[in-house]
Homo-oligomer: A and B are copies of this chain.
C-alpha cells in the first residue's frame, strides 16, 4: 500500500472483487435496472412482520447470494464490514448475526457501500484478511418512518426529496490468487476482474444546508471535496476514467456537484452518472429527485456496474458514495447537515 498526496491510498497487491450480489424491492424491479438484480421481492415486507426485519432480510439475502455465486462458505470470509441507516445499524447487526463472521459495524450513512469496500480493501491489501465482505442496505418503509413520517400519515414530499431505495448489495474483496469461479456472468464472458486500485477516504463537509428534504444539496459539497482531493493526489483528470459514478446525489445534487467543481476547472460531463438517477425512470416512476439510501449505490454497483466491468464495458471507474451524517434529532435542534464522500478507483484487469 502506498500513500500518495494527502488523502489517497494506492494498492499494490491488486485486491479484487471476487463475487457480488444485489437484491431489491418491487419499485426497483419496475425500474430500468430491474433485470440487473439477482433477485427482486414483489412483496415489500419480504414476509417479515416489521419493516426493520424486512430490511435485515435484504442484507442476509445479498450476502448469502454473493457467497453462493462465488462458491464460498462463511468461514472463507475473515471480516464483514456492514452498516445501514437505521438507528444503531440494526439492519446489519440482526441481518448478519447468525453468520459467525468477525463483524465490524460501519456508519457512513449513504456512503456506506464505498466505506465498507474501502475498509475491506485495506484489510485485504495488508494481509489482515484473505477475503473481506462489504454490505449495506436501505428500505423505503423503515427509512420513511424513522427519518420522516409514518407511511400512514401520507405526508407530501417536496420536489427536491428523493425516494429511499429498497435494496441491498454485497461484494467480497479478495487477495489475488484466491480460487476464482466467477459465476456472476456466464464464464465465457468474464474476461476482466474488478481490481480496487485506489481508495480516498473523505473528510466531513458542511456548507450549512439544513433542509432534510434536500439531501442531494447537503451531500454535493462532500462529493466535490473528495473528487478534488482524489484528482489532486493522483494528478489525473476526469477524462482519464470512463465512468465517474456517484451514489445518490439525485437530480438536484448532480447539478450542484457540477457547479461546485467549476472553480476547480473540473468538468465531469457525460462521464458522470449517479445511481440515484439510474435506478428509477423519472418519467414513469414518481420519485421526485431520484433514488437514495445506502442500498441505492450498493445495488447498482453490485449488479450492472461490476458486471459491465467484468465484461470490459468499463475499464476505469471511480465509484464514490456520499452520506448525510445527520439524525432527525440534530435536524430538530436546528443543526445543519454534515456530509461525507468516500471514493474507490476500480480498474478492469485481465
Task: Mark A residues whose CB is within 8 Å of B.
Answer: 1-3, 6-7, 9, 50, 52-53, 75, 78-79, 83, 85-90, 93-94, 96-97, 99-109, 115, 118-119, 122-123, 125-128, 146, 201-204, 206, 325-330, 333, 335, 338, 340
Number of copies: 2
- Contact between chains at A201 and B93 (CB < 8 Å): no
**Is A52 in contact with B103, judged by CB distance below 8 angstroms?**
no
CB pair B101–A83 under 8 Å, yes or no, is no
With beta carbons under 8 angstroms apart, the residue of B1, B50, B93 that contacts A325 is B93
The chain B residue with its CB closest to the CB of A335 is B94
Instruction: Establish whether residues B128 and A97, one from each chain, have CB atoms under 8 Å apart when the complex forms.
Output: no
Which of A52, A88, A100: most chain B Cβ within 10 A? A88
Q: 18 additional contacts, CB 8 Å, given A87-B327, A87-B328, A102-B201?
A: A3-B127, A79-B201, A85-B88, A88-B109, A88-B325, A89-B325, A90-B326, A90-B327, A90-B329, A93-B204, A93-B325, A93-B338, A102-B202, A104-B108, A104-B118, A105-B106, A105-B107, A122-B126
Tell me how far the C-beta of A195 lies from the nearest C-beta in chain B, rounded to whole angstroms.
Answer: 17
Q: How far is the CB of A77 from chain B (nearest CB, A)?
A: 11
What are 20 A-B residue pairs whose CB atoms fall within 8 Å in the complex?
A3-B78, A6-B75, A87-B328, A88-B107, A88-B326, A90-B325, A90-B329, A93-B326, A93-B338, A94-B335, A97-B204, A97-B206, A101-B203, A102-B203, A103-B201, A104-B106, A104-B201, A122-B122, A122-B123, A125-B126
Secondary structure of the A side of the interface?
mixed
**In the complex, residue of chain B having the shortest beta-carbon distance to the beta carbon of A202:** B102
**Chain B residues closer than 8 Å to A103, beta-carbon distance:** 201-204, 340
> What is the CB-to-nearest-CB distance from A131 to chain B, in angstroms, rounded to a whole number?
12
What is the chain B residue whose CB lies nearest that of A7? B102
Of chain B, the residue at the smallest CB distance from A204 is B97
Q: How far is the CB of A59 from chain B (nearest CB, A)?
A: 13
